[in-house]
Amino acid sequence: MRRLIIICEILVVLVIIIKIATAGGMLQKMTPGAAILDPDHAIANVAQKAPETAPAHETTDDSMARERKLAASLADREKQLDSRESAIKEEEKKLQVLKNEIVAKIDALKGLEDKLSGMLDAVKAVEDKRLKDLATVFEATTPAQAGTMLEKMDKKLAAGIIMNMKSKKAGAVWGYIEPQRAAEIAKEITSGPKPAAASAN
């Protein structure tokens, strides 16, 4: 009887082991991760996965090399930009110096222009006084004699003298100037700047 119980227990244990083995095989088929429980399979996996580790390491090295190359390129670019900025600043300084020189020359030219303008005004005042003095002399001369002298003068000077003469005296002189020359003097009077009007007497 005792033997029968031992045999039954052995049979039960064998059945359990067979069921466990069967279940384990099914698990391996159902889940790929179940193969990890098998030591031989695990060693094979390590052997197969070992080459994959090397490319990952190489990829990291490549990535770092690319980053270093990019950093070096950025540093070179930064140096170039700094160099350009320095050159631009130097050019700006030169342009500022030139601008200051040009402004100084313009100011000097304005000063000269004002001086020349004053001198021209003085010359014009002297010229006007001279024409008025000449007109006074011609007014004192007989119309025939004044007409003959004006006819021989430069038409611009003759026009200036006539314009500064009193209108009655100038009208009397016109009759003694040859018509062609009188027309030329009249044209000069109408085309030139108008002097101050002479008094009517």
Query: Could you give the count of Cα atoms lying within 13 Å of 34 in the half-sphere of its Cβ?
Result: 10
- Identify whether the C-beta of residue 177 lies closer than 8 Å to the C-beta of residue 147: yes
Using 50, 70 and 90 to split pLDDT, how confident is the model at 142?
very high
Kindly report, residue by residue over 18-74, the tens digit of the pLDDT: 878 776 665 556 555 544 445 455 444 544 544 444 455 667 888 888 888 888 899
Amino acid of residue 46: V
With residues binned 3-state (H G I as helix, E B as strand, rest as coil), the percentages for the chain, rounded to 5, are 90, 0, 10
Query: Could you give the count of Cα atoms lying within 13 Å of 144 in the half-sphere of its Cβ?
Result: 0
> Which candidate, 161, 154, 163, places its Cα nearest to that of 138?
161
Using a cut of 0.75, tell me whether the model's pTM lies above it.
Answer: no
Return the DSSP state at 193.
Answer: P
* All structural domains of the chain: 88-191 (1.10.220)
Q: Which residue has the tokens 């010359």?
A: 123
